[in-house]
Amino acid sequence: MPAEGRRPPADHLHPSGSSTCSCCLPQLQLATHRIGRELSRRGFIAGMGASLATLASLGLARPAGAQAAPPTPPILFRNFLLFDGTSTALRGGLGLLVEGNRIKLIATGEMAPPDGARVIDCGGRVMMPGLIDAHWHTIFAALPVPVLLSADIGYIYLAAAAQAERTLMRGFTTVRDLGGPSFALKQAIDDGLVPGPRIYPSGAAITTTGGHGDLRPLSDLPRSPGGPLSYMERTGSANIADSADEVRLRAREQLLQGASQIKLMGGGGVASPRTTLDMFTYSEPEFRAGVEVAADRNTYVAVHAYPSAQIQRAIAAGVQCIEHGHLMDEATARLMAEKDIWLSTQPFIRDDDFPPLTGQSRINLLQVIAGTNTAYALAKEHKIKTAFGTDLLFSSTVAERQGVMLTHLTRWYDNADILRMATSVNAGLLAMSGPRNPYPGKLGVIEEGAFADLLVIDSNSIDDIALLASPEKSLMIIMKDGRIYKDALPA
Ligand SMILES: [Zn+2]
């Protein structure tokens, strides 16, 4: 029997016509093991989804499963009060025509429906643009951490697809994904295979060893450079990068897969019990490496950071968007305003905005909640460009609070400002992806030529923003990309 790793002669004969023999068997086992290890290393199942995207992006073939949705007839909406995403006042007496996936025409008076058009009478209700969540995790929103770290990736994707439909049914027609392997889900949604929001993917959040998002079991340590990747990394949930060069590598890998922006972790976070909020992770040169890679692809880096020192370091490195920022001080707010930096923050005000936490995670959450009011007050006072996001994680129950989070904003903003923030203002942040924008066109507004993403709410004013906390009752029409996903208007 040959020693392991040594090949028997290629022309040796197998007994009784068999295709193998005892001398080949160790070789076969070794080969099988190697193939298995390679598939596993490459995140084979994740790769299947990505490979469809690759085929399409290489112009080789349209993926077989991706059948174009049948065309819908033109739809003419009548008898609604329009909140267009930018102006405060509601406008009545209009007709709105959707053709294909765009708003074709908005006109006053009685508009005649084109041939074959469906006419929808909105009964005097409010029409508004679809909501945008600027900080969402399509893969992580509804599954607990232990499941995410150990379950078959197929199950994780299927659960995320189910949650994507729930997200759309809450009226969120677009989300910006700030970490997680969302590329295949995005493609399936875009191809019309499963219902869900438009996704602006970051791919894997990039973090240091021991930084926020490094949820590896300690049994995975120590990692040696070039050594095998952890499950968390193979699935693209988070990537560990401990030098500027590693940041470049991982950032380029996300862009290769279609990331619309890059997410770097600047410090500790709530969901990482081994971190504290005060700690730094990336140095300024490491941040700069990510910023340069993103800039070379004409997009930007978003950095997870709570305290002022982390925010200032990220800005010094050229970062243009801060995620969270709950612990910033006045000087940092002034700096953000001066440099025109986006603040993508979330109104965490209560324990139940997160699944039950213990230990350091709970300490971190309480620090965030304690900072929320100051952060919003500073953002308003200094007129920082402020995006609305929810960052709800790890619980299907908590994920249902996406609309509730929006209503938390009434502490600082009036209703029109809240709706503007969750539509046209958030769309301004999405547009930062420039040529990496996966949906070039107007989002977050209702105007001619914009994508036909819109909601009809069971109300004749925007005075009661609390309606959006119960979308199952209050949303009568949900349209995304010109297609109606919910129609609960009385016949
Ligand atoms: Zn997040």
Residue-wise pLDDT for 29-86, tens only, equals: 444 344 344 434 444 334 434 444 444 444 444 444 445 566 789 999 999 999 999 9
pLDDT value for 1: 33
Residue pair 290/318 in contact by the 8 Å Cβ criterion: no
Q: What share of the chain is helix, strand, coil (3-state, %, to 5)?
A: 40, 20, 40
> How many angstroms is it from 140 CA to the middle of ligand 1?
9
> How many angstroms is it from 99 CA to the middle of ligand 1?
35
Residue-wise pLDDT for 387-401, tens only, equals: 999 999 998 999 999
> How many angstroms is it from 264 CA to the middle of ligand 1?
11
Answer whether residue 455 shows pLDDT above 60.
Answer: yes
> How many angstroms is it from 135 CA to the middle of ligand 1?
6
> How many angstroms is it from 412 CA to the middle of ligand 1?
22
d(CA 281, CA 264): 10
H or E element that contains 253: helix 244-256
> How many angstroms is it from 179 CA to the middle of ligand 1?
7
CA–CA distances in Å: residue 224 to residues 214, 230, 241, 250? 16, 12, 12, 16
Give the per-residue SS3 of 152-163.
CHHHHHHHHHHH
d(CA 196, CA 181): 15
Residue pair 193/65 in contact by the 8 Å Cβ criterion: yes
d(CA 180, CA 165): 17
> How many angstroms is it from 149 CA to the middle of ligand 1?
17
d(CA 393, CA 27): 46
Closest by Cα among 325, 308, 420, 443 to 379:
325
Beta partners for 126? Answer: 81, 457
pLDDT value for 426: 98
d(CA 42, CA 366): 38
pTM above 0.95, yes or no: no
Peptide bond into 222 cis (omega under 30): yes
Closest by Cα among 387, 364, 160, 152 to 271:
364
> How many angstroms is it from 95 CA to the middle of ligand 1?
39
High-pLDDT (> 90) share of the chain, %: 77
The mean pLDDT of 416-435, rounded to a whole number, is 97
Lookup result for tokens 């267009």: 84
